[in-house]
Structure 1
């Protein structure tokens, strides 16, 4: 009886570990895809260099992923990009100051047109 219980507990832990590992790996792959798509957009489509970018922070959002990009020449402005999984592209979603205030269109150097 004891051996069966120990065996069942051991198998349960192994299954839980493998399922957790699968979901973590899947999440990491999706996050990496967002980073690659964003970098492609910024460096290939928008012609920025890596020296233009201060930071890129990718976060899990309610309906997917979003990335916050801060440029070196506007270190007080956060540009938020959203990821479209259906065609693996990104678009600029919103712009705010780092302190949370709204940023006016006149002071923004990296504002992009809204996607069609």
Structure 2
């Protein structure tokens, strides 16, 4: 009976270690992805588009572990200083870290964004 208790204890410890490792791995991947996306979006805004840090009110990085496709599961919500009521959503391609504007959040129906065009090129 003692032998089975030890085996059971070892199995429980191994299963616990596996779940602990898997959870830490997932958190590390998420943190790494967030850093990649933040750096790519900042490079896009400041170097490619020529904005200054004063032009950007906030960059919020979000992670969606259910996302699939060619983009990272992490994306950026950018608020410009001159448009505090509109959030621009940017995605980053995994293949080449290219930043793409993906849409808007918190935007009223009559809003006319200044920094990226509406779908269909209306702005």
TM-score if structure 1 supplies the norm length?
A: 0.81
1:80-99 aligned at under 5 Å gives the runs 80-96=89-105, 98=106
Structure 1: any 5+ residue segments left out of the alignment? none
1:1-116 aligned at under 5 Å gives the runs 1-61=4-64, 62-63=67-68, 64-96=73-105, 98=106, 100-104=107-111, 107-111=112-116
How far off is 1:113 after superposition?
9.2
Distance 1:103 1:84 in 2: 30
SS in 1 for 2:38: helix
Structure 2: any 5+ residue segments left out of the alignment? none
The answer on whether the counterparts of 2:30 and 2:63 sit within 8 Å (CA) in structure 1 is no
Q: Which runs of 4+ in 1 moved over 3 A?
A: none
Distance 1:12 1:85 in 2: 32
Distance 1:15 1:24 in 2: 14
TM-score if structure 2 supplies the norm length?
A: 0.77
